[in-house]
Amino acid sequence: TCDLGYYIALENLKLVRYKIITEDGFILNLYRLLNRDEDKYTTEQNNRIPVLFLHGLLQSSASFVTNGKDSLAINLFNSNKYDIWLGNNRCFFDKKSYVLKNDNNPNFWNWDLNQMYQNDLSSMINFILKVNNNNNTNKINLIAHSQGTTQSLISISNNHENISSKLVCFVALSPAIYKGKLFDKKIFIIFLNSINLFFFRLFFGILSFMPIMLNIRKLLVKNHYSIKIFGFLGYLMFNFLFDWNDKLWDRNLRNRLFLFSPVYISSKLIFWWLNDNENDGFINCSRKVFNDDIDYIHENNSIKNNNAKNNLNNTNNKSLVPMFFFIGNKDDLVSNDLLIEHFEQFENHNYKIKDYTFNTETSSIILCVKRIPNYSHLDVLWAKDVLETIGDPMSQFLDS
């Protein structure tokens, strides 16, 4: 089945869905976990510190729970310490807007990551804080994967809507700030990276990005066998696009993991990710995250330039958000070495890189890093040992 609630129910849980409206009118689906045999949240549950999970590109919040008892979100919920929320960016599977009723209107799809961090992320956080106004901290923990980390770090670095005061801490799974080797290796990425907006629109239009993928999903999710076919095709697509494989996953769950991706996104968002735009876009997004004028990607060894500056470096210590980066050494989609080097070279001295160990005292650490030798981009979500490798240290970090 393609009902996410079904897979949640297998773990004796259920989803409570909230519809929230962003400032620019998009309707977001926000889920909250609850025990299956309970009808409402107890006072004790409402007093727990919320944890918001934010997904990656072409994915949904299902990526955090479809591997069942081994999922990071369900594991945190079962600790009985946190109030777990699963966030979904705009359009998701139902592409609804309160303002623009017609999804054939180009204005409906005129958005990219800028609107997602300015409107989607801030709307989710503000709504959760409004619902959980009883907890003592009036803050949440934010856990993001891939694109979600980009949204989060841009928002944190610019302190959009005073987000730093709303976060207890931030956990980044496969943080995406610098492009990896794949951008210079995959022919289709190199091609899309080289064309301008006019030709990109000629190929992909100005509305939804390749909606045929969602139409195929609707056709193939009719029964058990066709669902397995769709899940396998989803795996093949991501395997071809990004060189990911399932060596570390439970292969009995593999097809299920891809049932809830891709989702509806705008062509403009894909252009943001793939095009080499010096003023905006992922390839130069470090400038927006770190608020500097240094071109880390195109200038030879420019990351060594001592004139680099950033917002985080100029903030007082009270506004610093403690962070934990989980990095796969086999992740070629992003460059983690450049990210770590930036923090080592230029960030506030309190952002000291600390390789995580279980013997480390984390209460005063602003930035923890755990490098995982055999992990790739999606393994931080779905590896069979993800609870031991990521779940345990992440829980200890949140608890501290």
Distance between alpha carbon 256 and the CA centroid of its chain, in Å?
A: 19
> CB–CB of 142/55 below 8 Å?
no
**Annotated catalytic residue 331:** yes
Which residue out of 60, 61, 146, 152 is catalytically annotated? 146
Which residue out of 331, 332, 335, 379 is catalytically annotated? 331
> CB–CB of 345/294 below 8 Å?
no
**Annotated catalytic residue 392:** no
Pairing between strand 140-145 and 367-372?
unpaired
3-class SS string, the chain: CCCHHHHHHCCCEEEEEEEEECCCCEEEEEEEEEECCCCCCCHHHHCCEEEEEECCCCCCHHHHCCCHHHCHHHHHHHCCCEEEEEECCCCCCCCCECCCCCCCCHHHHCCCHHHHHHHHHHHHHHHHHHHCCCCCCCCEEEEEECHHHHHHHHHHHCCHHHHHHHEEEEEEECCCCCECHHHHCCHHHHHHHHCCHHHHHHHHCCCECCCHHHHHHHHHCCCHHHHHHHHHHHHHHHHHHHCCCCCCECCCCHHHHCCCCCCCCEHHHHHHHHCCCCCCCHHHHHHHHHCCCCCCCCCCCHHHCCCCCCCHHHCCHHHCCCEEEEEECCCCCECHHHHHHHHHHCCCCCCCEEECCCCCCCCCCCEEEEEECCCCCCHHHHECCHHHHHHHHHHHHHHC
Which residue out of 63, 286, 377, 379 is catalytically annotated? 377
Angle (CA) 367 291 85, round 5°: 50
> CB–CB of 259/184 below 8 Å?
no
Residue 125: HSE in the Cβ half-sphere, 13 Å Cα cutoff? 29
User: Hey, which residues are catalytic here?
Assistant: 146, 331, 377
